[in-house]
Structure 1
Amino acid sequence: MIKKVITYNQVIGFHSYPDAPASCAYLSKRHRHVFIISCEFKVSHNNREIEINTMQEQLAYALQEEFGSPCEFGSYSCEDIAQWLLNRFPEMSEAKVLEDGFGGSVIQR
């Protein structure tokens, strides 16, 4: 069996897509989203070695420490945010970042 714990954080943030295609040119300007961030961590037993609540707090703190509150992601895409999370938390196996709960990105280790 593969066992994982899943975290869920909502983060208000701003970013831009400077190279947005003409059909979505409005995305090239700074704009706001509620970023939905879901991360997976492999665990080895049912009394998991990673506590979900504690990890959610650590993720929120790391994001706030790096990007402020609300988060200023600059030109970071969902993929960039997911990759930053995976680099920051080596025990993380997957990071999913959605814009307003709809479209986004998933990166797996």
Structure 2
Amino acid sequence: MALTRHIHVTTQVEGLHRWPDAGPPDEYLAASHRHLFVASVEISVEHSDRELEINAVARWLTTVLGSFAEPPDRPDGPLDFGAQSCEHLAERLVAAITERYGTHRRVRCTVAEDGILGGGVQWDPDPAEAGQ
């Protein structure tokens, strides 16, 4: 078994979202409602000496997650993620991560509402690219 390494970064942003097509018994989800969207990410790295510096990745990740939302209605209000689900936000984060850090890395991302319930995705690189 080969040793693999990864960094783990978690961030959160306050936001609103809704599920316009929600039906019984969950129709209340059709209305805009607030959550802390907690994104948890693992990104593979080649060595143990800060190949990707976790604090820099965390700051960038927070900015990117927030960029997927509309600005707040008022200066102190929450962001508005519209109809985006946790899975959709996770897919967008993985796309941004692979664009910035390369498609040769394994990336796992979960986005959870209030850190409890959510969804996620995993990017597995093509084995031919994994050695880059």
The TM-score normalised by the length of structure 1 is 0.92
Q: 1:48-77: per-residue Cα shift (whole Å, max 9, x none)?
A: 310111001001112233424633111000
**Partner of residue 86, structure 2:** 78
**Partner of residue 29, structure 2:** 27
User: What value does the CA root-mean-square deviation take over the aligned residues?
Assistant: 1.4
Inter-partner Cα distance in structure 2 for 1:101 and 1:65: 20
Inter-partner Cα distance in structure 2 for 1:52 and 1:2: 17
Task: Give matches, 1:39-78, under 5 Å.
Answer: 39-67=41-69, 68=71, 70-78=78-86
Do 1:63 and 1:71's aligned partners in 2 also have CA atoms closer than 8 Å?
no
Matching residue's letter, 1:106: G
Aligned length: 109
Inter-partner Cα distance in structure 2 for 1:25 and 1:73: 18
Q: Which has the higher strand share?
A: 1
1:15 aligned residue (4, 14, 17): 17
Matching residue's letter, 2:115: G
The TM-score normalised by the length of structure 2 is 0.77
What's the % identity of the aligned pairs? 35
Task: State the structure with bigger RCO (CA 8 A, min sep 6), 1 or 2.
Answer: 1
Give yes or no for the alignment of 1:96 onto 2:98: no
Query: Any unmatched runs of 5+ in structure 2?
Result: 73-77, 124-132
Q: After the TM superposition, which of the residue ranges 35-44 and 85-94 deviates more from structure 2?
A: 85-94
The change in CA–CA distance for 1:80 and 1:55 in structure 2 (over 3 A counts) is same
Matching residue's letter, 2:83: S
SS at structure 2 position matched to 1:35: strand
